[in-house]
Amino acid sequence: MSTKALAITKAQELTAQDSVRPIIDLVLDGLTSEHSKRAYERALVDFLAWHAEQGRPPLSKALVQRYKVELQRDGLAPSTVNLRLSAIRKLAREAADNGLVDQTLANGIKAVKGVKSAGVRSGNWLTRDQAQELLNTPDVSTLKGLRDRAILAVLIGCGLRRSEAAALTFDHVAQREGRWVVIDLVGKGNRTRTVPMPSWAKAAIDEWTAAVAVVADPMDSGRIFRRIHKGGYVNGDKMSAQAVADVVREYAEVCGFENLAAHDLRRTFAKLAHKGGAGLDQIQLSLGHASIKTTERYLGTEQDLVSAPCDVLGLRLD
């Protein structure tokens, strides 16, 4: 068995232990996002496995700092190290709130600093031509092609997360101030926002729904995107976020776009909108970011040597 496989087995065994599972659940119960729950669970399982390998020494600030150093030595990215430290800090905070550890000890662990990132990780996105190619790839002579094109359209045209696209309902799509928008969309952190929708994205949805009788199920408020049976007919079931991700991966492979994920289409939306002249604050509102810094990371930075900052200082030599 490989080293990685052994580590996974150890982690699974550790998670199953009665003494450990309640500790992990204590942290996860305080989270609302399913994505955060999965990420924090992995982080805590790894930390507790490492803690067990060290002989289960008393939890302390020094111990967490040593774990941080080992993560860095293993070559983990700063963002990964910081996520794991966040999970451990929350573990300490929840344990203190429930009287399981001393508050002073928890404060010490919360004081462990994260790892500074060198520069800004720009992520992955498509150019305008690549986005257009991806959008035109589905075979719209089939129901699946019409549905998949509509999914790609809302991901690229509205900057939705894959979970938001999967949960999109007919009630979400409405007209406001003479244009189509996605209203009352609840995203990450339970933040509600309204997202403008381009006419071509609405047209893609209309062509999909016109081609198939999408029955509004009162149990799920009329999901727009439904699963399609291999036989080519809609079986009425709603799609999952993973199914939306699979749609993106399928057409990315056809186009030859390596390692393109559904979230990269969200970055593509931000990048193309900014290049087209959209204001940073408006892009932030569409994406539903709590911080403008998050939006800036999506956009990345490009040095412009033609129109440089020094050209607009307004200074001269006499």
pLDDT tens column, 253-264: 888 887 889 999
pLDDT of residue 166: 92
| CA atoms of 132 and 151, how far apart (whole Å) | 14
The H or E element containing residue 139 is: none
- Taking the mean position of all CA atoms in its chain, how far away is CA 248? 14
Per-residue pLDDT, 194? 87
pLDDT score, position 67: 94
Predicted local confidence at residue 204, as pLDDT = 95
CATH 1.10.150 residue spans of the chain: 3-110
What is residue 161's three-state secondary structure?
Answer: coil
Q: Using 70 as the pLDDT threshold, list the residues of the chain that sit under it.
A: 1-20, 32-35, 117-123, 213-221, 236, 297-298, 300-318
What is the CATH number that goes with domain 3-110?
1.10.150
What pLDDT does residue 1 have? 41
Domain 128-299 falls under CATH 1.10.443.10: yes
**Rounded distance, CA 120 to CA 141, Å?**
42
Q: Are 197 and 180 in contact (CB under 8 A)?
A: yes
Paired strand residues for 226: 238
Query: Residues 172-192: pLDDT tens digits?
Result: 999 988 889 988 888 777 788
pLDDT (0 to 100) of residue 274: 86
User: Which residues make up the CATH 1.10.443.10 domain(s) of the chain?
Assistant: 128-299
Residue 251 DSSP SS3: helix
Kindly state the DSSP code that residue 192 receives in the 8-state scheme. Answer: E
Q: What pLDDT score does 9 carry?
A: 40
pLDDT for the residue 318: 53
Query: HSE of 21 in the Cβ direction (CA atoms, 13 Å)?
Result: 6
Confidence (pLDDT) at 115: 81
What is the spatial distance between Cα 23 and Cα 28, in angstroms, rounded to a whole number?
Answer: 9
CA 276 vs. chain centroid, Å, equals 24
What torsion, rounded to 10 degrees, do the Cα atoms 46, 51, 54, 57 define?
Answer: 170
Whether the pTM exceeds 0.85: the reply is no
What pLDDT does residue 117 have? 58
Count CB-CB contacts under 10 A for residue 87.
Answer: 24
